[in-house]
Amino acid sequence: MTSRERFQLTVNHKQPDKMVVDFGATSVTGIHVSTIENLRKYYGLKDKLIRVTDPYQMLGEVDDELIEIMGIDTAAARGPKNGFGFYNHEPFMEYLTPWGQKVLVPEGFRTRNDENGDVLLYPEGDLSATASGRMPQSSYFFDAIIRQEPIDDAKLDPKDNLEEYGLVSDNDLQYWKETTQKARATGRAVVAGLGGTALGDVAHIPGIKLKKPKGIRDITEWYLSILMRPDYIQAIFDRQSEIALENFKRLHAVIGDNVDAVFICGTDFGTQDSTFCAPEQFDDLWLPYYKRINDWVHTNTNWKTFKHSCGAVEPFMSRFIAAGFDIINPVQINAKGMDPAHLKKTYGKDLVFWGGGIDTQKVLPYSTPAEVREEVLRLCEIFAKDGGFVYNSVHNIQAGVPVKNIVAMVDAIKEFNGN
């Protein structure tokens, strides 16, 4: 059975020959660039500079050698530009990170250090603009710099929060055609982040790709606006989803079935112990637009739709199903109410759980390899039964995680799969 065949059975809730494995196909199922270098060293692979695929989070490329070793069944189809708005592909240049690792970055990755020694990154790689990202000296990734202009409610215009959303260009259509063809040729399941459907994702709200963002760009102000300015938020979502569906129509015409799953939205609805909003607010503000997007995808394509939300989102699971999502990630099993057995029994016939394979807050970074093995096997027994499970950790694997623990995870996956 090929990786794609295995994936198709899995996402249609049928038992495959082996559990599907993903690392690196999305910006929320990846591995930090420093950890990838450490993994390559552990496995005795030739030294090489690791490519940064996501500058915001400093995620690295999981290359073909690691894909083979780790038994990965997915292939990423990445967009032409990254979150900072500059071209994310070749030509690359060397960059020395604050932690002393040399990596490969796109030419638009232009930085300066501020008076504290923090690294600043710029929208569209334009050093004449105001920096939109900051990596503190002790950090391993960037934070968004909030550049909120004074808000005058009388002059607020939803168009200001839609500046970064527009119709896909002919050049980008050609890019996506070639990129998805290349990903399909791997024989693995293709996962694409086509963009444009980030309804309130706080990673996008600050507008780090924009030189002078307008509208509501402060994350706290955005959350307050859910209560204070719901009509404004609805106007944004309404127009954004219209643009997105027109783009999906154009994209589907050139990429067709070269994509198996599409990343729709990364908006988080949960904290560690609760939710960001009441379920009824989800019904009013998000559900109609998610349903509009998912209904179009399911009516016109064979793609499966991927929803990311961290936290204690068990109260939203039935609503994710009602909205038409096929896949939920990262399945934060250590959050309140997110018991794996309960989730699988209650929602496992309708939702594919993509993640939840190991707790990345405590178990993976701080336990022993034996404890990691035990945790992985236990969770696989729960989630993988009758399909509907793609193995990944709970969100990205960060810097500083002991390599022996990651290897123990990989070995346990292989053990479960009978390799």
- Structural domains in the chain? 3-30+64-81+147-417 (3.20.20.210)
The predicted model gives 33-62 an average pLDDT of: 98
> What is the Cα Rg of the chain in Å?
21
Tell me how far apart the alpha carbons of residues 298 and 278 are, in angstroms, rounded to a whole number.
Answer: 27
Q: In this structure, is the dihedral angle defined by the CA atoms of residues 186, 406, 309 and 15, taken in order, positive or negative?
A: positive
Angle between helices 33-42 and 403-417 (to 10 degrees): 70
* Alpha carbon distances (Å) from 344 to 17, 318, 339: 19, 13, 9
Tell me how far apart the alpha carbons of residues 208 and 82 are, in angstroms, rounded to a whole number.
Answer: 10
pLDDT 10s digits, 312-359: 999 999 999 999 999 999 999 999 999 999 999 999 999 999 999 999
The predicted model gives 357-365 an average pLDDT of: 97
Tell me how far apart the alpha carbons of residues 260 and 8 are, in angstroms, rounded to a whole number.
Answer: 8
User: Which tokens go with 41?
Assistant: 């060293």
Tell me how far apart the alpha carbons of residues 316 and 322 are, in angstroms, rounded to a whole number.
Answer: 10
* pLDDT (0 to 100) of residue 248: 98
Whether omega for the bond prior to residue 91 falls within 30 degrees of 0, making it cis, is: yes
- Sequence-distant (≥ 6) Cβ neighbours of residue 113 within 8 angstroms: 119, 120
* pLDDT (0 to 100) of residue 419: 84
290 has a pLDDT exceeding 90:
yes
User: Which tokens go with 72?
Assistant: 């990965």
5 has a pLDDT exceeding 90:
yes
Whether omega for the bond prior to residue 206 falls within 30 degrees of 0, making it cis, is: no
415 has a pLDDT exceeding 90:
yes
Tell me how far apart the alpha carbons of residues 375 and 298 are, in angstroms, rounded to a whole number.
Answer: 35
User: Which tokens go with 96?
Assistant: 């020395």
- Best CA proximity match to 393, nearest among 409, 378, 408, 377: 409
Tell me how far apart the alpha carbons of residues 370 and 344 are, in angstroms, rounded to a whole number.
Answer: 25
The predicted model gives 182-208 an average pLDDT of: 97
Q: How many CB atoms lie within 10 A of CB 68?
A: 9
User: Which tokens go with 155?
Assistant: 């002059």
Confidence of residue 199 (pLDDT cuts 50, 70, 90): very high
At 66, is the secondary structure helix, strand, or coil?
helix
Angle between helices 230-255 and 219-228 (to 10 degrees): 110
* pLDDT (0 to 100) of residue 4: 98
The predicted model gives 184-193 an average pLDDT of: 98
Tell me how far apart the alpha carbons of residues 378 and 250 are, in angstroms, rounded to a whole number.
Answer: 43
Tell me how far apart the alpha carbons of residues 362 and 410 are, in angstroms, rounded to a whole number.
Answer: 17
pLDDT 10s digits, 129-175: 999 999 999 999 999 999 999 999 999 999 999 999 999 999 999 99
87 has a pLDDT exceeding 90:
yes
pLDDT 10s digits, 93-116: 999 999 999 999 999 999 999 999
Q: What is the 3-state secondary structure (H, E, C) of 141-174?
A: CCEECCCCCCCCHHHCCHHHHHCCCCCCCHHHHH
- Sequence-distant (≥ 6) Cβ neighbours of residue 152 within 8 angstroms: none
Percent of the chain with pLDDT over 70: 100
Q: Taking the complete model, does pTM exceed 0.95, yes or no?
A: yes
The predicted model gives 395-412 an average pLDDT of: 98
User: Which tokens go with 366?
Assistant: 């701080």
Q: Across the chain, which distance is largest between two alpha carbons, in Å?
A: 63
User: Which tokens go with 100?
Assistant: 């002393």
120 has a pLDDT exceeding 90:
yes
Do 351 and 294 contact (CB within 8 A), yes or no? no
Calculate the CA 363 to chain-centre distance: 21
User: Which tokens go with 43?
Assistant: 């496995």
- Sequence-distant (≥ 6) Cβ neighbours of residue 335 within 8 angstroms: 270, 271, 272, 273, 310, 311, 312, 313
Q: How many CB atoms lie within 10 A of CB 224?
A: 12
pLDDT 10s digits, 236-274: 999 999 999 999 999 999 999 999 999 999 999 999 999
